[in-house]
Amino acid sequence: MSRAKCGDRVRVNYAGKLEDGRIFDSTIDQSPFEFTIGESDLIAGFEEAVVGMVVGESKTERITPDKAFGPHRDSALLRIERCKFPAGLEPEVGEIYQICTKEDAPAVFTVAEVCESCVIVDMNYPLAGKHLFFDLQLVEIL
């Protein structure tokens, strides 16, 4: 049987979970996810987990932050004056917003704290610093 290797185009079913078991992404009730190993913008740990699998094989892989979305950086916590938020917008802790930077690049932040005069926003990717668990099944090597 052939094992998945770098350069192979593969189809994979997966469920991505946090340490508490909550699913954050999944192909359940969808088509398998298709990608070429080594040529994707996927997190390194996901691709590395698929390498060596044979069609039909299933496994659960724990991916550390360094192989996923990196560490949570305190330097990515920013203080924004409340007056900088649009009128009528009442930010709440945990809300996620997407904005465009001065360079027209999209940026995502999570509201970390709301004060009377300011809002502390977390510019880290929401899964940064987290250990991720993926239930994987290699469906096909194309």
Please state the pTM of the whole predicted model: 0.84
Structure tokens at 116: 């009377």
The larger pLDDT score, comparing residue 8 to residue 1, is at: 8
Q: Which tens digits make up the pLDDT trace of 98-133? A: 887 778 888 889 999 999 899 999 999 999 999 999
What is the chain's Cα-based Rg?
A: 19
Q: Which domains does the chain have, with CATH numbers?
A: 9-70+128-141 (3.10.50.40), 74-122 (2.40.10.330)
Place of tokens 């465009």: 100
Count other Cβ atoms within 10 Å, centred on residue 120: 17
pLDDT value at residue 83: 86
HEC readout, the chain: CCECCCCCEEEEEEEEECCCCCEEEECCCCCCEEEECCCCCCCHHHHHHHCCCECCCEEEEEECHHHCCCCCCHHHEEEEEHHHCCCCCCCCCCCEEEEECCCCCEEEEEEEEECCCEEEEECCCCCCCCCEEEEEEEEEEC
pLDDT value at residue 26: 98
Amino acid letter, residue 119? V
Q: Which tens digits make up the pLDDT trace of 42-99? A: 999 999 999 999 999 999 999 999 999 999 999 999 999 988 887 888 899 999 988 8
